Each structure stands twice: as structure tokens, then as C-alpha cells.
Amino acid sequence: MVLTVAQLAQRIGAELVGDGAVEINTVAPMGTAGKSEVTFVADNKHMAALESSRAGAVIVAERVEGLSRPQLIVKNVDTALIEALNIFAPKLKPPPEGIDPTAKVGQDAKIARGVSVGPGAVIGDGVEIGEYCVIASGCQIHENSKLGKNCRLDSNVVVYHNCTIGNNVIIQANSTIGSTGFGYSFINGAHRLIPHNGGVVIEDFVEIGANCCIDRAKFGNTIIGAGTKIDNLVQIAHNVVIGKCCLIVGQVGIAGSCRLGDRVVLGGQVGLADNIEIGDGVMVGGQSGVGRDVPAGQRLLGSPATEITEAAKIYGLTRRLPKLAELVRQLRKRIEKLEVAKDDKK
Amino acid sequence: MVLTVAQLAQRIGAELVGDGAVEINTVAPMGTAGKSEVTFVADNKHMAALESSRAGAVIVAERVEGLSRPQLIVKNVDTALIEALNIFAPKLKPPPEGIDPTAKVGQDAKIARGVSVGPGAVIGDGVEIGEYCVIASGCQIHENSKLGKNCRLDSNVVVYHNCTIGNNVIIQANSTIGSTGFGYSFINGAHRLIPHNGGVVIEDFVEIGANCCIDRAKFGNTIIGAGTKIDNLVQIAHNVVIGKCCLIVGQVGIAGSCRLGDRVVLGGQVGLADNIEIGDGVMVGGQSGVGRDVPAGQRLLGSPATEITEAAKIYGLTRRLPKLAELVRQLRKRIEKLEVAKDDKK
Amino acid sequence: MVLTVAQLAQRIGAELVGDGAVEINTVAPMGTAGKSEVTFVADNKHMAALESSRAGAVIVAERVEGLSRPQLIVKNVDTALIEALNIFAPKLKPPPEGIDPTAKVGQDAKIARGVSVGPGAVIGDGVEIGEYCVIASGCQIHENSKLGKNCRLDSNVVVYHNCTIGNNVIIQANSTIGSTGFGYSFINGAHRLIPHNGGVVIEDFVEIGANCCIDRAKFGNTIIGAGTKIDNLVQIAHNVVIGKCCLIVGQVGIAGSCRLGDRVVLGGQVGLADNIEIGDGVMVGGQSGVGRDVPAGQRLLGSPATEITEAAKIYGLTRRLPKLAELVRQLRKRIEKLEVAKDDKK
């Protein structure tokens, strides 16, 4: 795919300033972009580097005076960048409509029109798959689970029985939805598994990374709210309820029955203890451990997590502990001197 | 499934107090249970909430005086709850006995009676599978591995060669058993893999979550002791030996050659350094890191982990570091004043 | 496989001291080796235990005087150990050459000679697989990805489209290569996925454990440098560039756009924040969290990570915080006494 800057401007609805004849074949970040590549300025702090970039053109939010290359001026650089990336995306064959002959579809399964079921996929009895879903090779969807429209399950995803997945959901390769949670009662000297009669509900526009685990509920449902995005290798335990538009970064672990509000952000490798409530908009920094309820809007860091400015202060003081300990030692000596002086006076 | 409370009482061996005609169709926790649902009181601290629950009936260990709904009095609420959950479990088709025509079974493999091998599963040469095992779709069991009776391997589980799995073992979807461990020698400027001639032994009644990894041994076997339960996304390295009835919570990492006693509990995201010994009954709190041997019975917390009451004290003092540092600053000023006063006297 | 010590000495190029007729059937560590097993002394600190070992023979770097069993003296014990382990490795059937009839190979895919493609594997359109690769059962390799020679992909590995894998690469079971990274723009109240037009490049002799995730790049490539070894359950985000001969231990998480030099070692469960640069030879201890650039050669520990000797000092002082706080309390009392004494004088 090659477009002139003028053509690209038209495609992404940009105002063109400069030479529209320059040919562009891809998008690249400022540091590596060459003369056939369009770059972008996501925020003003990167504006200074723009002149030294060798990019063939640049997407900006405001006209840059004196810039020696074509500018594509847009209202929202993020939106324009997504459009440009889609334009220059590598061309892949669309997944073939229909059910691959090596796939297996159970009794009473309902596969809507436009669905693609890849090689070796297994669709259990009573499963429903909505229009235009793409179920990639090696997926296993078990009895009575339901998918809405336009979902994409990548290769080797496993969905256990009785799970409910909304519309426009993406689940990446090797993830597991609806496994039995880690709930045991210690009876007569052995851990006995508590049956998990509940399911998993994944709402619209949820996106789940690769190799994630979302356990089914003991009662009711484990719920992932609409628009929430989950990175790779994330563990979500039984009966967790996550609100809308949260961001859950890689390797986070959320223990049983936690309740998260909307727009919560959990950094990489964060752990939440079981049965806590995290309010709307809470942000937790990477590797933090949260063991208590957190009111809406707080920003936390550390294990155990504290409010972020307090955490920063504590970290700073912890690193200065050698100096503090040395200071205390010196103060003790000075006190000893004072005490000796006092005693001498007696 | 709908039962009257009287029928349910009979099924779970409970003494009935109150109206036996109320109809029940599921189990639910106290906060959400409705009038067609039975709830339970697991411990006395939840007793107070019982009167305000709208549950149709309640499973309790002792008769509650003055309660305005049917009571099912049992010796052990945990046991009765498991029974009730099994009674009201969603009805699923039993896995079909026999080998799915799309599965592949190797030479000399021995598949006992009552076994179910799902679509696309691959059973390698010389594999033995005991009676009534359920090998779900997409499982890959490699050369010479042996499974006992009544095991359940969920979809897409991979078992490498020469692994030995006992009776009544459950392994959930996308887990990997018997991968080569992370053992390298640095020779002539490159990391060379040390061959892993050993295997994995998983004893009876072990249950392993989804997306776990259990590496095979360099020599001898990596061993998971009978009755031990492992949550999702857990990493168990080569030559680890885990005792009986341990609980290993999600995302724990156990490095090479660690030896765990019986009834050890590791909280979520705990890490154990390689080659350490953890005694019987040790409990380690979530996100802790253990780098040394731990005697039986200890409770640890923190990274690096210390005894839990000491850890709590240290955490408390760490959070009060700003106050301690301020106090030391004030003390220094007071000492300076005292020193000035002393010098003035001279 | 049974060899006399004399035969084994010849096979591994060792000088034999002692009785060459002893028969050996495997390799075992010193503590468990029996009289038909050969053991080894990897470093001098284990030399003392040698006499009490019941091993039938021992591989050593230097002749041990007065030892009552055969010695195999070699230049490099590590190399000899690997050779001996290979000699005594359990015999497995070689993977059958050719494409299993249940595998599916796409249009224009190029499968070189000597390749083995296992049952149920799916090779997408335009995929290229070099000589003598072993693609195990259940692997899914998508459109246009390329593998060099002698690679081994274990069961259920997923490689997304447009990934490039070099020669002699091993990827263990259930790992995911080329998933879309966690990159979103918040636009009009929703997180919108940023298209990931880039790919993944895995260079020669890279080895990747089980259940790992390596995300594809937004632009350009996520790159794993030649000879780097990666343990299980590791997360490598979009646009990360890892140098040569690094060791990445289990459950490490590397956030987006990090750049690692050569010979970097990251301990288990380490987390790297996004977009940082880690110099050549840096070593980071287990569970550490690194949030800033690290110059070459540093050794770090802690979360947030600091230089290792400083970290050890801080850890020590943190554990002595109860004593420090008590000392400060006592000093305050002594100051109060001095102040009272001074006031009394007035």
C-alpha cells in the first residue's frame, strides 16, 4: 500500500500543509521513521524532536511553523494514528466464512451467518455463536456457552460450559475462560473442591490478552464489565466483578470475590487480596499489593499499597535509612557527651 | 432441578426445622439469595446477617432461635454445602465414553474401560490411561506418560513424555506438565541447555488449575504430593518436591529443587528462590519472596519474607518513617540547643 | 543403556582413573546416586561430600587423591555432564518426518525437507518452515510466519501472522508468539485498540519456555536476540528489544518498548516498567521492580530496585527498624532528662 500524503490526508480527514506528492508506505515512530513513512506527534514534549526526524510527513494536532516537511493536521492525533495504522496494516486473508471440515460442531449448536470456525475447533452442544464471529483454529467452546456478534477468539482459546460472552469481544490465544476457581473446604483431613455452579459473563467490547485465566463463579457469575481491557497472563479468580472500561495490565492477579468499579487501572503484576472493593477510577502502580478496600479515585503504590505520594515519601526515606541510622548513632554520641558533661558538673 | 426443603434436608442428611414445603432451585450466598434459594452460614460472624437475608431456607450448624424461615441443621456446613451445590449443579451431558474419531491414539497405548478421549486429542505411543479418565478435546499426552484412574484433563492440556499421574487428578485447560526446566551451563560463550532426563510425578487427588507449568526434572522427578491443590498460572520448576495437601495460590513461582513439606500454604504471587526447604505447615502471605529455609509451622510475609508478626511491625514502622525521621530532626535540634547551652556555660 | 565406566570415559573424552569395568546406567546428583550411577562435582564446595556418596563413578575436573571409586577426569565438567546426560537420555521415538494427515497446511506454505508436522497442527497460508523443524501436535502457525532450520515448536504453541523465527529455536508448549500488545488510546470515552502492524523477530538459538507470551510490535518488531533463553510464564510486551544471551527467569514481565542489552539476567517475577533501557550484563534479583534506565554491569535488587549492596543494607536496616525506633525513643527520654537538668540549673 502506497499513498501520497495528499491521499492519506483525505483518508484520515486531515488538513494538508506542504507537499502532497510525497509517497508514504507505512507509519513509524519519530526516531525510526524514514522518508517514505509518516510519523506523528502524540504530545508536545516530543515536538522538539520533530525537526530532526527523517519522516516523510507528520500527523500533528496544530500546525508547526517553519517545519520542512508535509504536515497532516487533525483534531485528534490518536484517532488519526489508528486510522493511518489501519490503512497501512499488513494485508491478511480474511478468515474463510463457514465451518472448517476438521472442526466439530455439537448438537443444537447455533452458528449465525458470517461466522468463521477454524480447523480443529470444537463447538460443544448447545453453544450459540453470533454473526461474524471468528473462532480460530484449535479453540474449544464447551456446552451451552454463548457468544454475541463480531467476537474474535484466537487459536487454542478454551471457553468452558455456560459462559456468556457479549458482542465485539476479543480473546487472544491460549486463554482460558470459565475454569473452576480455587475454592476448597478442609474436611476430614483433605481439601475438598467446592463445586462451581456459576459461570462467567464477559460484556461487550472486552478484550482479553493471551494466556489469561478467568475462573467461573461458585454462585452467580464472574463478570468482566463492558469495555474493560485485559493484558496477557492475567489471573481473575472466581466471583470477581470488574466494572466498565478498566485496564488490567499483564500478570495482574485478582483474588476471589473482589469488586472493581469502572475505569480502574491496575499496573503490571499487581495483586489484589480476596474479597476487597476497589472504587471507580482507582489507579494502582505496578507490583503493588492491595489488601483492603480502596475508595474511588485513589492512586496507590507499594506492597502493601499506600497512597502514592505517601508511598513515594516512604520509599525515599527507606532508601535514606542508612543515613538516618548513622544520624541516630551520632546523636547518641552527642547525648553521651552531654550526659558525661552533666555528670562531671555534679 | 427443584426440591422442597424437606427433600433437600433428606438429600443432605439435615434436620429440618420449619416449613418443609418451600421450593428451592439453587444455592446462593446470603446477600443475594432469593426465596427459591437456599443459603448457608459458614461461620458465626455471618449469623447476624441471616435474619435480613431473603433466602428461602438456610443451612446451619446449630438451630437458630426465632428465625422466620426453614432451617437445615447439619453437622458440617462445608460438607452440606458441597452436597447441595452438587445437587443443584447445572446439568451437563456426560463426556461420551470412547475415543472420538478425530482423536489420535499412538501405538501400544493402553486406554482402559470407561475412558473418554475428546476431539482432536493426541495420545502418544506407549501412553497408559486408567479407567474412567476424561481426556478433553485438544489434549496432547506424549510418549510413555501414565495416568491412573478417574483423572480429568481439560481442553488443550499438554503432558510431555514419561510423566506419571496418579488417580483422581484434575488438570485444567492449557496447563503444561513436563516441559524442560530452565537449566543452562555457560560454555564457550553460550548458554547450553542441560538435558532433562527426569520426569514429573503427580500423586493422587492433586488438582492443578489452568495455564500452569510444571517442569520435568533434570534427574529423578519433579513431584507434586497427594492431595495438593494448585491454582492458575503457577510455575513449578524442575526437581521441585511438594508434599501432601499443600495449597498453592495463583501465580506462585517455585524455583528449581525447592522442597516443600506437607500442608504448606503459599499465597498468590509468592516466589520461592531455588533450592530451599519449606517445612510442614508453613504459611506464606501473598506476594512474599522467600530466599532461605523455613522451619515447620512458621508464618511468613514480605519480600524478603520474615515472620508475620515481625513483618507487620516492620510494615507499621516503615509507614511511620516520615514521623520517625521528623522526630530525629527535632531531637537533633534539641541536642544542638543543649550543646549550645553547655558551651555557653564554659 | 548400560556402559562400563571405561566406555563412558571414551564417549565423553575423559581420562579414567580406577576400575573401568563398573557398569553405569544413568547420571544422578551426588546425594542420590547409587552404585550404577555416575555423578559429578560441579564446584569444589561439593568435593567434601564426594567420599560419602554411593555413586559408582564420578566426573571431576581434577584427580581426587585417595578416592575409592572410578574417576572420569575432564576439562569441563559442565560439558561432560551434558554429554553424559545425552548418552543416558530416555529413548524416545524420533518425530515422524512429514506432515501428519490430520494437520492442515495452507496455500503457498513452504515446508522444507526433514520437517515433522504433528497431528492437528495448522500451518497458515504463506508460512515457511525450514529444514528439520519439528512442529508438534496442536501447533497453530499463522499466515506468512517464517521459521528457520532445526526449530522445535512443542504442542499447542501459537505463532500469529508475520513472525520471523530463526534457526535452532525451541518454543515450549502453550506459548503464544505475536499476540497483539496492550496499547490503547482513550477516545470518546472508550479505550480503542492501537493496531499492531509490526511483528516478532526471534533470533537463532533462542529458547522459550511454556505458557509464555511475546507480543507483536505496533511498529517494526519485538526482537529476542540470539542465544537468549526465556523460562515459563514470561510476558514480553510490544516493541521490546532484548539483546543476545540474556536469561529471563520464570514469570518475569517486561513492559512495552523496553530495550535490554546483551547477557542481561532477570530473576524470577521481576518486572520492568515500560520504555526503559537495561545495559549489557545487568543482573536483577528475583521479584525486583525496575522503573528507570540501568547502566551496563549493575546488579539490582528490590522494588523499586537499587544497587544490590545498597539494597542489602536497606533490607538489613528495615528489619532493624523496631530497634532503631526503640533507640530513638530512649534518646528522646535522655534528651528530656538533660533538658530538665538544664532547666533545673536556671
In this prediction, residue B1 carries a pLDDT of 87
Contact A172 C190 (CB under 8 A): no
Q: Give the model's confidence band at B346: pLDDT under 50 very low, under 70 low, under 90 confident, else very high.
A: low
Q: Which of A139, A144, A110 is nearest to A124 (CA)?
A: A144
User: Looking at beta carbons, which residues of chain C come within 8 Å of A233?
Assistant: 211, 213, 233, 235, 253
Chain mean pLDDT for chain C: 96
Contact C314 A321 (CB under 8 A): yes
- Which of B158, B191, B253 is facing C156, going by the closest CB pair? B158
Contact A327 B328 (CB under 8 A): yes
CB C138 within 8 A of CB C117: no
Other C-beta atoms lying within 10 Å of the C-beta of residue A92: 14
Residue A43 has pLDDT above 90, yes or no: no
Q: C178 to chain B nearest CA, in Å?
A: 18
User: Looking at beta carbons, which residues of chain A come within 8 Å of B341?
Assistant: none
In a domain, A37, yes or no: yes
Q: C31 to chain A nearest CA, in Å?
A: 32
Chain C CA closest to residue A337: C338
In this prediction, residue C31 carries a pLDDT of 86
- Are B153 and B293 contained in the same domain? yes
Contact C211 A211 (CB under 8 A): yes
In a domain, B322, yes or no: no
| Listed range (A10-14, B340-344, C222-226) with the worst mean pLDDT | B340-344
pLDDT tens per residue across span A253-296: 999 999 999 999 999 999 999 999 999 999 999 999 999 999 99
In a domain, C131, yes or no: yes
Contact C232 B213 (CB under 8 A): yes
Q: Does the ipTM exceed 0.85?
A: yes
- Active-site residue flag, B238: yes
In this prediction, residue C96 carries a pLDDT of 95
C-alpha cell of residue C277: 533501557
- Are A134 and A273 contained in the same domain? yes
Residue B49 has pLDDT above 90, yes or no: no
Contact A318 B322 (CB under 8 A): no
C-alpha cell of residue C171: 518454543
Residue B121 is classified by DSSP as -
CB A102 within 8 A of CB C102: yes
Mean pLDDT value across residues B83-102:
96
Contact A306 B286 (CB under 8 A): no
- Which of A26, A93, A325 is facing C324, going by the closest CB pair? A325
Q: B121 to chain C nearest CA, in Å?
A: 9
Structural domain containing residue B35? 3-87
Contact B82 A192 (CB under 8 A): yes
In this prediction, residue B51 carries a pLDDT of 82
- Are A171 and A251 contained in the same domain? yes
Mean pLDDT value across residues A11-38:
95
Number of structural domains found in chain A? 2
Q: C303 to chain A nearest CA, in Å?
A: 8
Kindly report the CATH number assigned to the domain that includes residue A34.
3.40.1390.10
Amino acid letter, B180: T
User: Looking at beta carbons, which residues of chain A come within 8 Å of B211?
Assistant: 174-176, 211-213, 233
Other C-beta atoms lying within 10 Å of the C-beta of residue A29: 18
- Are A117 and A83 contained in the same domain? no
- Which of B137, B250, B324 is facing A140, going by the closest CB pair? B137
Mean pLDDT value across residues C180-189:
96
Chains touching C by CB (3 or more pairs below 8 Å):
A, B
In a domain, B339, yes or no: no
- Are A160 and A33 contained in the same domain? no
- Are C71 and C126 contained in the same domain? no
Kindly report the CATH number assigned to the domain that includes residue A219.
2.160.10.10
How far apart are alpha carbons B123 and B136 in whole angstroms?
11
Contact C190 A245 (CB under 8 A): yes
B248-275 burial, b for 16+ CB within 10 Å, e for fewer?
A: bbbbbbbbbbbbbbbbbbbbbbbbbbbe
Q: Which of C30, C57, C87 is the last residue of a domain?
A: C87
A145-175 burial, b for 16+ CB within 10 Å, e for fewer?
A: bbbbbbbbbbbbbbbbbbbbbbbbbbbbbbb
- Which of C210, C229, C233 is facing B184, going by the closest CB pair? C229
In a domain, A20, yes or no: yes
Contact B250 A235 (CB under 8 A): yes
Among residues A46, A142, A161, A238, which one is catalytic? Answer: A238
User: Looking at beta carbons, which residues of chain B come within 8 Å of A102?
Assistant: 102
- Are B183 and B270 contained in the same domain? yes
pLDDT tens per residue across span B201-246: 999 999 999 999 999 999 999 999 999 999 999 999 999 999 999 9
Best residue of A233, A264, A342, A345 to probe chain C, by most C CBs closer than 10 Å: A233
Mean pLDDT value across residues A14-36:
94
In a domain, C141, yes or no: yes
Residues 6+ apart with CB under 8 A from A143: A106, A124, A125, A126, A127, A161, A162, B92, B93
What residues of C are annotated to the active site?
Answer: 238
Task: Assign B201 to helix, strand or coil.
Answer: strand
Other C-beta atoms lying within 10 Å of the C-beta of residue A43: 8
In a domain, A330, yes or no: no
How far apart are alpha carbons C211 and C200 in whole angstroms?
17
pLDDT tens per residue across span B273-283: 999 999 999 99
Best residue of A232, A308, A336 to probe chain C, by most C CBs closer than 10 Å: A232
Phi, psi values for residue C131, rounded to 5° = -55, 140
Best residue of C123, C176, C284, C317 to probe chain A, by most A CBs closer than 10 Å: C176
In this prediction, residue A207 carries a pLDDT of 98
Q: Give the model's confidence band at C346: pLDDT under 50 very low, under 70 low, under 90 confident, else very high.
A: low
pLDDT tens per residue across span C96-122: 999 999 999 999 999 999 999 999 999
Residue given cell 483474588 in the structure block: A255
Chain B CA closest to residue A101: B102
Best residue of A104, A139, A203, A211 to probe chain C, by most C CBs closer than 10 Å: A211
User: Looking at beta carbons, which residues of chain B come within 8 Å of A328?
Assistant: 328
- Which of A136, A205, A250 is facing C253, going by the closest CB pair? A250
Q: Which of C150, C118, C109 is nearest to C132 (CA)?
A: C150
- Are C116 and C42 contained in the same domain? no
In a domain, C170, yes or no: yes
Contact B245 A191 (CB under 8 A): yes
- Are B221 and B158 contained in the same domain? yes
Other C-beta atoms lying within 10 Å of the C-beta of residue A123: 28
- Are B154 and B264 contained in the same domain? yes
Q: Taking phi first (over 0 means left), then psi (-120 to 50 degrees means alpha), and beta for anything else, what does residue A93 get?
A: beta
Contact C269 B273 (CB under 8 A): no
- Looking at chain B, the whole-number percentage of residues with pLDDT higher than 70 is 100
CB A80 within 8 A of CB A59: yes
Residues 6+ apart with CB under 8 A from B232: A176, A179, A182, A213, A215, A235, B172, B209, B210, B211, B212, B250, B251
pLDDT tens per residue across span A109-157: 999 999 999 999 999 999 999 999 999 999 999 999 999 999 999 999 9
- Which of C158, C271, C303 is facing A173, going by the closest CB pair? C158
Other C-beta atoms lying within 10 Å of the C-beta of residue B118: 23
Q: Which of B87, B108, B125 is the last residue of a domain?
A: B87
Chain B CA closest to residue C100: B104
Chain C CA closest to residue B273: C286
- Are C217 and C140 contained in the same domain? yes
| Listed range (A59-68, A85-94, C20-29, C251-260) with the worst mean pLDDT | A59-68
Q: Identify the H or E element spanning C84.
A: helix C77-87
- Which of C269, C322, C339 is facing B271, going by the closest CB pair? C269
pTM: 0.96
Contact A227 C327 (CB under 8 A): no
Chain mean pLDDT for chain B: 96
Q: Give the model's confidence band at A346: pLDDT under 50 very low, under 70 low, under 90 confident, else very high.
A: low
In this prediction, residue A272 carries a pLDDT of 98
- Are A122 and A83 contained in the same domain? no
